[in-house]
Structure 1
Amino acid sequence: MAAVRKLLCAAGVLLVSGCLGGVPASNPDKTETEAREGLAAFFARGGSTGGRRAAPLARVNLAGGDVVVAGPDGYCIDPSTRRSASERGFALIASCHILSGGKVGRPVVPMLVTVTVGPRGDGTDLPSPKAIAQAANAVLLDGKASPDQVTAHLASGGDDMFDGSDPRYWRAAFLQGNRMVGLALYAPRGSALAGDQGATMILRVKNRIAQSSRTNTPRTGTPTQKPTDGLLGRLFNRQDLPQ
């Protein structure tokens, strides 16, 4: 999880200490309200000088256009987090309403989803749910694998993202064309997205990216040499981002 946090720092996201206070899960209305306020502070403090922020983006092209990232309805890309080079890329998805300070979109369930585009690969390069959990040094709560995608629900580490985030979080890896893509979903403590509903949401994000990228023709080329730290290092670590 420390690697994901470093990845966000490298991507230009300010990790704000105290941006979300601990909220009892027994009070869902308070949880929802404070989660929205906390995430608004999270992004506002990461904005440009003078408090002005660029408008959230509906979609972005990463890795030379091989992958088009877009969020589900109500969710946008924070433009300050976009990083893209010819062979890799990164973006962060969150509520359009929160990212815009209430100017765009409608209120939706708060969450953060990181999207990392890694090297070219095929189905044999996809890690197992167990491998994802081992790399994160976390207990695997649930996991599913198919020829083109893998999801893993992890028991711990999510609370390192921001104060008040749930320890449980979701990771996924999938193939988009000939590109490996990694996702990580974080939600406030007690949120249904930190539990079973996170499986549906992370697949919604994956399907939205697949739909947006469908009209693009993946570039051909020699697969990049796999690094010594393995595929997971390319999908979740800071070193995979352009400097």
Structure 2
Amino acid sequence: MAALAALALAGCLDGAGRAAPQAVAVAGGSVAIAGPSGYCVDTAATHDGEQGAFVLLGGCAALSGAPDAPSPVRNALLTASVAANPGPGGRPDDRAVMLSRFFEAEEGRAALARDGNAASVTVMQTFERDGVFVLRARDRSAGLAPGLRDEYWRAIFEVNGRIVTASVIGFADAPLDEEAALALLLEFAARIRAASPGPED
């Protein structure tokens, strides 16, 4: 993910000059990844296969290089991943308790760390909001793409039986405050849920 983020960040800064869709369907069409207004999908950094899906989003104008394309009100790098296997099911609040315990333990912090070292990660907050598990963490390990902050917000939730992880990563030169970052994360999760097909589809 760090390598893809670095490539995508370079595209955001340089202007890739390619089409940048506002949404993309992954996981056999069961999940649609769509960002808040002004965000588009970086198709070069997006992957969907047997091991799961990874989607990266940035500002539409920056990705497409088109001056008339929209730009987000809150600027950040957004990522979404969709697990290859079905989720565990159960109630969201039960999953939130399980996830909170996992990420606060050494094993969970190691899973969050770019270098796999639990000591590199500090979990600053975890809570559940409207069926979405929210985590705020700082990863001090090496490998962070230049220009990004080492602190991020992450949401984990279920869509059509698949576990989706959405993240908001701020830029070092224009950091988002906590309230703005959380609002952007929750809007991102809501857009994914709204864009994804329902059972009747």
Q: Given the two structures, how large is their TM-score scaled by the length of structure 2?
A: 0.76
Residues 5-28 of structure 1: CA distance to partner in whole angstroms, max 9, x if unpaired? 15x27xxx6277xx6xxxxxxxxx
Q: Kindly indicate whether the alpha-carbon contact (under 8 Å) linking 1:159 and 1:165 is maintained by their aligned counterparts in 2.
A: no
CA distance in 1, matches of 2:69, 2:171: 22
Say yes or no: does 1:81 pair with 2:74. no
Say yes or no: does 1:131 pair with 2:109. no
Match of 1:5 in 2: 2
Amino acid at match of 1:114: T
More strand by share: 2
CA distance in 2, matches of 1:158, 1:186: 15
Match of 1:56 in 2: 20
Amino acid at match of 1:211: A
Select 2:7's aligned residue among 11, 14, 30: 14
Q: Kindly indicate whether the alpha-carbon contact (under 8 Å) linking 1:93 and 1:114 is maintained by their aligned counterparts in 2.
A: yes
Displacement after TM superposition at 1:87 (Å): 6.7
Residues 134-173 of structure 1: CA distance to partner in whole angstroms, max 9, x if unpaired? 2323112222125832111113349843223212111221
CA distance in 1, matches of 2:198, 2:61: 28
Select 2:77's aligned residue among 98, 112, 133: 112
- From the superposition, tell whether residues 140 and 209 of structure 1 become closer, same or farther in structure 2 (CA, over 3 Å): same
Displacement after TM superposition at 1:205 (Å): 0.5
Match of 2:115 in 1: none
Q: How many residues align?
A: 182
Segment of structure 1 superposing worse, 98-107 or 108-117: 98-107
Displacement after TM superposition at 1:197 (Å): 2.0
- From the superposition, tell whether residues 55 and 115 of structure 1 become closer, same or farther in structure 2 (CA, over 3 Å): same
Residues 212-231 of structure 1: CA distance to partner in whole angstroms, max 9, x if unpaired? 0144658xxxxxxxxxxxxx
Question: Matches of residues 1-243 of structure 1 in structure 2 within 5 Å?
Answer: 4-6=1-3, 8=4, 14=7, 39-41=12-14, 44=15, 53-85=17-49, 88-101=52-65, 102-106=67-71, 108-118=73-83, 119-121=85-87, 122-123=89-90, 128-132=99-103, 134=109, 135-136=111-112, 137=118, 138-145=121-128, 148-157=131-140, 160-189=143-172, 191-193=174-176, 195-215=178-198
Residues 114-152 of structure 1: CA distance to partner in whole angstroms, max 9, x if unpaired? 111102111466652453352323112222125832111
Unaligned runs of 5+ in 2: 113-117
Amino acid at match of 1:110: N
Equivalent position SS for 1:104: coil
CA distance in 2, matches of 1:147, 1:120: 20
- From the superposition, tell whether residues 208 and 107 of structure 1 become closer, same or farther in structure 2 (CA, over 3 Å): closer
Residues 158-217 of structure 1: CA distance to partner in whole angstroms, max 9, x if unpaired? 984322321211122110121101122211126443633211111110000000014465
Displacement after TM superposition at 1:58 (Å): 1.3
Equivalent position SS for 1:54: coil
- From the superposition, tell whether residues 191 and 156 of structure 1 become closer, same or farther in structure 2 (CA, over 3 Å): farther
Unaligned runs of 5+ in 1: 20-37, 48-52, 219-243
Identity %: 24
